[in-house]
Chain A
């Protein structure tokens, strides 16, 4: 296993941990800057690594990642097929409730 590749997995987790502060603020520019970072590190993950990341997440982190996935799906890009898979994996692990929390949470990503 390439040690360098582990960097992106922990990068994603680090960004998810920083997210609650950004979600609480109303600064749209900060939110989109952070979102771009998340999308960038998600793009570096392969399918298997994405699965590993999803398996190792806590429920709150899973919710936050799902919010970013939906934000990513708003714009058409080459990443979208990967986001569809990621959404399916997240919902499989965390259940329908995680989508309901994306819909209902006032603190958006």
Chain B
């Protein structure tokens, strides 16, 4: 008589759900300790860079473009600041008179994380209108970019905007780590359950 397949439904889901949350909590607590100073530096630098004012285009009449994207006139651009935590994890802040471009490179340890990051960030960037300050394409060499213009600062509080960007980056990192852990634990549990059938049959 064929043995009823056990554990492929609710049992497995319950198993990996509980594992997921505990591991996720432990992992994020660990990650925060080494990550905080980097985010604080990025935050204070961004706070200084976000001094923007309306500046209509000097080249085209009646046009108003973010100068950091146009990069036409040297006098309107500030020195870019690169804050690197590791080789892979860095933050580039390019400021200008009326706009700031912030780009983040997310740490990707292995192939799985690279795939997860690519899919997750492209998912977010496709919906960049919802995020208002997000850029549709990341800058070269980075995973995700934000473009903040004086319009945004006129309608939103600067402190809240800063909070948003920093917690956004924290959350993206947490999400990707959690996704990787969930993926690995799911794979392990599924493999275990699958192989259990073979073991008890014999």
Q: Let me know if A45 is at the binding interface, CB within 8 A.
A: no
Report the minimal beta-carbon distance from A106 to chain B, rounded to whole angstroms.
8
Q: Is the CB of A99 within 8 A of B48?
A: yes
Q: Let me know if B85 is at the binding interface, CB within 8 A.
A: yes
With a CB–CB cut-off of 8 A, which chain A residues contact B83? Answer: 70, 73-74
Q: Let me know if B44 is at the binding interface, CB within 8 A.
A: yes
Q: Let me know if A29 is at the binding interface, CB within 8 A.
A: no
Which residue from chain A places its CB closest to the CB of B90 in the assembled complex?
A: A76
Q: Let me know if B190 is at the binding interface, CB within 8 A.
A: no
Query: A interface, how many residues as a size bin?
Result: 20 to 34
Q: Let me know if B37 is at the binding interface, CB within 8 A.
A: yes
With a CB–CB cut-off of 8 A, which chain B residues contact A33? Answer: none
With a CB–CB cut-off of 8 A, which chain A residues contact B58? Answer: none
With a CB–CB cut-off of 8 A, which chain B residues contact A104? Answer: 78-79
Which residue from chain B places its CB closest to the CB of A95 in the assembled complex?
A: B48
Q: Let me know if A105 is at the binding interface, CB within 8 A.
A: yes
For chain B residues 69-88, which have a beta carbon within 8 Å of chain A?
78-79, 81-87
Q: Which of B81, B86, B87 has the most CB of A within 10 A?
A: B81
Encoded as 1 (CB less than 8 Å from any A CB) or 0, chain B from 45 to 56 comes to 101110100000
For chain A residues 24-79, which have a beta carbon within 8 Å of chain B?
70, 73-76
Report the minimal beta-carbon distance from A39 to chain B, rounded to whole angstroms.
14
With a CB–CB cut-off of 8 A, which chain B residues contact A88? Answer: 37, 40-41, 44
With a CB–CB cut-off of 8 A, which chain A residues contact B47? Answer: 96, 99
Q: Is the CB of A103 within 8 A of B86?
A: no
Q: Is the CB of A85 within 8 A of B37?
A: yes
Q: Is the CB of A96 within 8 A of B82?
A: no
Q: Let me know if A102 is at the binding interface, CB within 8 A.
A: yes
Q: Which of B40, B48, B82, B86 has the most CB of A within 10 A?
A: B48
Encoded as 1 (CB less than 8 Å from any A CB) or 0, chain B from 178 to 194 comes to 00000000000000000
Cα–Cα distance between A2 and B82 once the two chains are bound (Å) = 36
Q: Is the CB of B51 within 8 A of A100?
A: yes
Known: A96-B48, A102-B79. A76 touches B86 (CB 8 A): yes
Q: Is the CB of A76 within 8 A of B85?
A: yes
Report the minimal beta-carbon distance from B6 to chain A, rounded to whole angstroms.
49
Cα–Cα distance between A102 and B95 once the two chains are bound (Å) = 12
Which residue from chain A places its CB closest to the CB of B75 in the assembled complex?
A: A106
Question: Which listed residue (A76, A81, A99, A108) contacts B44, Cβ 8 A?
Answer: A99
Question: Which listed residue (A74, A84, A103) contacts B40, Cβ 8 A?
Answer: A84
With A87-B41, A103-B81 given, can you name 7 additional A-B contacts, CB distance below 8 Å?
Answer: A73-B84, A88-B44, A96-B48, A100-B51, A102-B79, A103-B78, A108-B79
Of all A-B residue pairs in the complex, the 9 with the closest CB atoms, nearest first, are: A99-B48, A84-B37, A103-B78, A76-B84, A74-B82, A76-B87, A76-B86, A100-B48, A96-B48
